[in-house]
């Protein structure tokens, strides 16, 4: 199959909103398949449903694809030998081929009014028949057509679907699938405004663009017999279809849809739009790894692998046909692995700069590079750095409260005394490197009869104004001796002021 026909795949989004993570996975699987076979990945815009068009959404879709690293070889912005790649610019082709089907007796013009269609639907519902069209305009005489035209009716073009027999087709994910032709309705191919439906447009485009594989959601599987019959009616070679399982909500109930964007599941935000992952501070290669794991198994029981390794193995087989629960809880773990193990200091620093600056902090390169080694094992997403280490970049450092400064099982007087002694010892050190300050403070804690955690806790809050931070003494080394001592002195002053006020 792949040797006889060059592999050309396509992702064909509709500009109806941001890129949903389910659509992103479809695009990813489509892209991996093309790259595995050294083929072409095409971006095609299906914008014929003008009522659902949302201004600016196409840019959001392409931004999402680019962020994930899914580059395309042909498309509206790049051109190519089979353009245009936007369906609203190809209307003449759809009209031409729809009329050809009519001329060949494989489709027909139907002139039903909206009221008549409503009546048909009501009659079918009363007879407990599936929704659809009853074919009443299949065999109109020229005189009947002339009458309808004289009345000002504008026709649609409907497909003459077979009403008996079976359609048997192959699916890359599900193998042989069989359908009773009685389930195929005479679907509209060309609307009265001259715009095509998906059923017609995607087949014409896939043929003319020489698409070899069509990957799409399992929700389109019931349409496969209609599409198979259309391919047969045109007499064109049908591409390989692969109907992918959908992503289910984390609770396993229902499809994960755009309306769930940002909703909370058991107190945790569930991200469903590509832009949300980017804004939340996830690393694109980790998200790609995460999506590849949903419904496809790399093998060797491996969950962490590069996109190059995925390309080498992704041949379209091995996709689980069952719908998959959206395992969002795994993403933080996987993203943390990439931060800890897959990124250089310089690359991680570049990614950490964005959330820090977004938080209104002034970031200098020297400090940023210094904090990377001490935060990379303590964050799971880039945005975590703001709460963990934002204090490095705050010019208006405010000393902590008395309550925050006092460690467990200590009082204000004991904390004040410990910090005063610590300040004196630290002032006298010739080196402020962490491997000098930590032993000195550990020895001081023992001398004061304190647990190391008590003294270190007081120092941590004094220096960072927070109880959770990167390693204390590495933090103090980066801040420098003068700044660290200044902050400890501010804490001492807070405690001393409180003591005076109580006297």
Which letter does DSSP use for residue 26 in this model? H
Give the contacts of 41 (CB within 8 A, at least 6 positions apart). Answer: 9, 10, 11, 30, 31, 34, 35, 70, 71, 72, 73
Catalytic member of 255, 258, 451, 481: 258
* 253 counts as catalytic: no
Q: Return d(Cα 495, Cα 405) in angstroms, integer.
A: 8
Q: Are 413 and 498 in contact (CB under 8 A)?
A: no
Q: Return d(Cα 344, Cα 363) in angstroms, integer.
A: 19
Residue carrying structure tokens 């955690």: 453
The angle, 0 to 180 degrees and rounded to 10, between the axes of the packed helices 57-68 and 21-36 is: 50
Residue 286 sits at the vertex; the CA angle it makes with 41 and 62, to the nearest 5 degrees, is: 40
Q: Return d(Cα 328, Cα 294) in angstroms, integer.
A: 10
Structure tokens at 265: 């599941």
Q: Return d(Cα 68, Cα 310) in angstroms, integer.
A: 14
Give the contacts of 104 (CB within 8 A, at least 6 positions apart). Answer: 233
User: HEC profile for 123-173?
Assistant: HHHHCCCCCCCCCCCCCCCHHHHHHHHHCCCCCEEEECCCCCCEEEEEECC
First to last CA, the chain: 90
Structure tokens at 143: 């005189």
Order of strands, sheet of 166-171, starting from the edge strand that comes earlier in the sequence = 40-43, 8-11, 213-217, 240-244, 166-171, 175-180
User: HEC profile for 217-257?
Assistant: EHHHHHHHHHHHHHHHHHCCCCCEEEEECCEECCCCCCECC
Please give the positions annotated as active site: 258
């Amino acid at each position: 199959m792949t040797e006889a026909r060059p592999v050309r795949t396509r992702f064909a989004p509709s500009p109806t909103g941001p890129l949903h993570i389910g659509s992103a996975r479809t695009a990813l699987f489509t892209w991996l398949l093309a790259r595995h076979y050294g083929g072409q990945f095409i971006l095609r815009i299906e914008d014929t449903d003008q009522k659902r068009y949302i201004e600016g959404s196409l840019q959001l879709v392409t931004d999402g694809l680019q962020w994930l690293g899914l580059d395309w070889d042909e498309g509206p912005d790049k051109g190519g030998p089979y353009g245009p790649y936007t369906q609203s610019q190809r209307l003449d082709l759809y009209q031409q081929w729809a009329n050809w089907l009519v001329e060949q007796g494989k489709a027909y013009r139907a002139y039903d009014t909206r009221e008549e269609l409503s009546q048909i639907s009501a009659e079918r519902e009363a007879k407990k028949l599936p929704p659809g069209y009853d074919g009443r305009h299949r065999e109109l005489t020229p005189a009947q057509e002339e009458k309808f035209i004289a009345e000002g009716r504008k026709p649609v073009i409907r497909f003459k679907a077979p009403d008996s027999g079976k359609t048997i087709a192959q699916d890359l994910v599900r193998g042989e699938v069989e359908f009773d032709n009685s389930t195929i309705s005479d679907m509209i191919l060309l609307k009265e405004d001259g715009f095509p439906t998906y059923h017609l447009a995607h087949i014409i485009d896939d043929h003319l663009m020489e698409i070899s594989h069509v990957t799409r959601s399992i929700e389109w599987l019931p349409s496969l017999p209609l599409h198979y019959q259309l391919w047969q009616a045109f007499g064109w070679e049908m591409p390989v279809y692969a109907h992918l399982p959908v992503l289910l909500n984390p609770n396993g109930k229902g499809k994960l849809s755009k309306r769930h964007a940002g909703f909370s599941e058991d107190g945790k935000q569930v991200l469903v739009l590509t832009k949300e992952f980017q804004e939340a501070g996830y690393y694109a290669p980790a998200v790609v790894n995460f999506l590849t794991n949903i419904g496809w198994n790399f093998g060797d029981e491996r969950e962490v692998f590069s996109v190059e390794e995925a390309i080498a193995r992704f041949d379209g087989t091995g996709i689980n046909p069952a719908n998959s629960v959206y395992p969002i809880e795994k993403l933080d773990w996987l993203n943390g692995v990439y931060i800890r193990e897959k990124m250089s200091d310089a690359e991680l620093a570049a990614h950490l700069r964005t959330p820090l600056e977004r938080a209104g902090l002034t970031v200098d390169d020297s400090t940023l590079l210094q904090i990377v080694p001490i935060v990379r094992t303590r964050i799971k997403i880039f945005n975590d750095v703001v709460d963990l280490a934002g204090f490095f970049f705050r010019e208006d450092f405010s000393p902590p409260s008395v309550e925050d400064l006092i460690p467990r099982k200590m009082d204000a007087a004991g904390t004040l005394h410990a910090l005063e002694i610590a300040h004196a010892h630290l002032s006298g050190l010739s080196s402020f490197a962490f491997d000098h300050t930590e032993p000195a403070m550990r020895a001081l804690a023992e001398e004061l009869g304190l647990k190391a955690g008590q003294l270190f806790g007081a120092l941590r809050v004094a220096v960072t104004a927070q109880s959770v931070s990167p390693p204390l003494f590495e933090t103090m080394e980066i801040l420098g001796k003068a700044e660290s001592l200044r902050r400890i002195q501010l804490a001492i002053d807070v405690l001393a002021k409180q003591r005076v006020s109580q006297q």
